[in-house]
Structure 1
Amino acid sequence: MTRPFTRRRFLTIAAATLAAGVARAETAATEWHGVALGAPASLTIRGDRRAAETAITAVRAELQRLERIFSLYNSDSALVRLNRNGWLAAPPPELLEVLSLSGQIHRQTGGAFDPTIQPLWQVYAEAAGAPVPDRIESAWARVGWQHLRFDADEIAFARPGMALTLNGIAQGYITDRIAALLKARGMTDVLVDMGEIAALGTRADGTPWRAGIAAPDGRILHRVTLSDRCLATSAPSGTVLDPAGEVGHIFDPRRRAPAGAQRVASVSAPSAALADGLSTAFCLMTPAEIDAVVAELPGARVETLI
């Protein structure tokens, strides 16, 4: 398969770096940098260093466990097995939780958010952004949230060749899980970046954490403050599928086409998973459609939309 031309992580790295730059000036901050779902991740924890280091060990173990559920590149992950076989018995509760939230966001966005879009992504990625029309039509026949069935006993596709990608929500979900793990261990002032950002509590001076929302070219579009709130940013050109950079990785299941490459959507919400799913969908929606969704979700706020 042709490898996508990845730039997406710069969006979150740029946001986290602004906040982490402040945190490094705090003497009581412990930092960790690692990998989550194959991309850079980081933590900044204020408080007792020994307790923070013990918590980081637990975080690393939790990340490995969640990778075995959500990774698209781990050949034995729950998601890969589902895509390979078309069904998955006794699915992990975390996967069911993400699918339930995905279904909610699918309904709220009028179908703009649809994780069953993976077959189309595969076709465009294999063809470096320029697949033949017959392959596109074949892929669309295998797309559709209504063809997915799931409960505690089994997840199953109703059509052969279907597949899921949870890249538009799993990073946010993992961010939430890590934030909850740290909070349960008594960590009250934490900045989590597992692909999306969760900010707990405050910085040492009592002010909120700070983040910058960056475009794929590195320009800071907007600066926000976060306290007990999450932030997610999506842009089709964050990962491009063709050498010219014109075909982004986010696809519109309603228009049956790739999204415009230049869109950037950033959303803050109480949950990083919700912010992640909404930011993905908002790359495909009109301002009026977005306003209608946000009106139904008082905890969500559009921070940037260009």
Structure 2
Amino acid sequence: MNLTRRRFLCISAAALCAGASPAAPARWRGIALGAEAEITLHGPGAEAVLTEAIARVRGIERAFSLYDPTSELARLNASGRLAPSPAFRLLLRQADAVHRATGGAFDPSVQPLWQALARGGDVEAARALTGWERMTIRQDVTLAPGQALTFNGIAQGFATDVVTDLLASRGFGRALVNIGEHRALGGPWRLGLSDPAAGYLGTRTLADGAIATSSPAALRLGTGGHILDPRGLRAPLWSTASVEAESAAQADALSTACCLLDPDEIRRAMAVLPRIRRVTLVDGAGRLRTLTAG
């Protein structure tokens, strides 16, 4: 299994239930978060939990999709104001924490800049619209004029956490959940690390934690990669950044930001954010560098 930023959702879980007899797994295949999806669960009660897991994923789509005009995010971008659901408010708090820890390198208000580059628009005018701090979060969320948000750098990790937490609450003690990012219950699980330029670089072991990986060149946008510096300071410094943490949402957002940060800046972010375990960086020549917490 290559640890790339692919958008294929695959959940494989096994319930820890002493003495339980083997049973056929419960399976579902479909579309989730805009990608082909598959969920496979093993153990007692798998069919009921599978139904719950699908419902949770659909709920996340209804909140954070850029392409569903009825989603909370689409309605916020269209009107500039939203009374957020609890899940939307939680994701805002998580995004805000990583934004602050990274000095603004992670900034969901980058959406106008993304659109300008994708459509050949006025890039500098779009960059002037970015700025997480220009948004107001109180009872309602209010965007500054011209602003729009994207949660593509954190929503897949958030979905991974939601489904993993559901499985844990229903007694599934060993699981590997992949909704663009990985989170494990139990383990150990072996995951491969790949870089768009250098290819396969090796494997790592994951147990009771999450791994999220970002590679700017995994998707082209205009003449460059898809990870943009909202501050306008620099092009990506790393070909790939992979973050290990307890939370997949936090790992997802930080891996995005790490592509734009030097090692000292990454260490400062790791010191601020809780439960970050390790950051693995791949430079343009395919050389690995690892930063650990503590």
User: TM-score normalised by the shorter chain: which range applies?
Assistant: 0.7 to 0.9
Equivalent position SS for 1:212: strand
Q: Which moved more, 1:249-258 or 1:287-296?
A: 249-258
Q: Distance in 1 between matches of 2:235 and 2:78?
A: 24
Asked whether the equivalents of residues 7 and 35 of structure 2 are also in contact (C-alpha less than 8 Å), the reply is no
Q: Distance in 2 between matches of 1:14 and 1:222?
A: 21
Give the number of the structure whose residues are more often strand, by fraction. 2
Equivalent position SS for 2:88: helix
Equivalent position SS for 1:161: coil
Aligned AA (1:140): R
Asked whether the equivalents of residues 43 and 193 of structure 1 are also in contact (C-alpha less than 8 Å), the reply is no
Equivalent position SS for 2:203: strand
Aligned AA (1:136): V
Q: Which runs of 5+ in 2 are unaligned?
A: 13-21, 283-294
Could you tell me which residue of structure 1 aligns to residue 111 of structure 2? Answer: 118
Asked whether the equivalents of residues 108 and 149 of structure 2 are also in contact (C-alpha less than 8 Å), the reply is yes
Root-mean-square deviation (CA), in Å? 2.7
Equivalent position SS for 1:223: strand
Q: Distance in 1 between matches of 2:67 and 2:3?
A: 21
Which of 51, 58, 61 is equivalent to 2:52? Answer: 58
Could you tell me which residue of structure 1 aligns to residue 133 of structure 2? Answer: 146
Asked whether the equivalents of residues 40 and 194 of structure 1 are also in contact (C-alpha less than 8 Å), the reply is no
Which of 265, 280, 283 is equivalent to 1:304? Answer: 280
Higher relative contact order (CA 8 A, sep 6+): 1
Q: Which runs of 5+ in 1 are unaligned?
A: 1-8, 21-25, 203-207
Could you tell me which residue of structure 2 aligns to residue 155 of structure 1? Answer: 141
Q: TM-score, normalised by structure 1?
A: 0.80
Could you tell me which residue of structure 2 aligns to residue 187 of structure 1? Answer: 172
Equivalent position SS for 2:224: coil
Could you tell me which residue of structure 1 aligns to residue 34 of structure 2? Answer: 38
The answer as to 2:242 corresponding to 1:266 is yes
Q: Distance in 2 between matches of 1:31 and 1:83?
A: 35
Could you tell me which residue of structure 1 aligns to residue 19 of structure 2? Answer: none
Q: TM-score, normalised by structure 2?
A: 0.83
Structure 1 position 263, deviation (Å):
1.7
Q: How many residues are matched?
A: 272
Alignment CA distance shift 1:256-1:124 (3 Å): farther
Percent sequence identity is 44
Q: Distance in 1 between matches of 2:24 and 2:266?
A: 40
Aligned AA (1:86): G
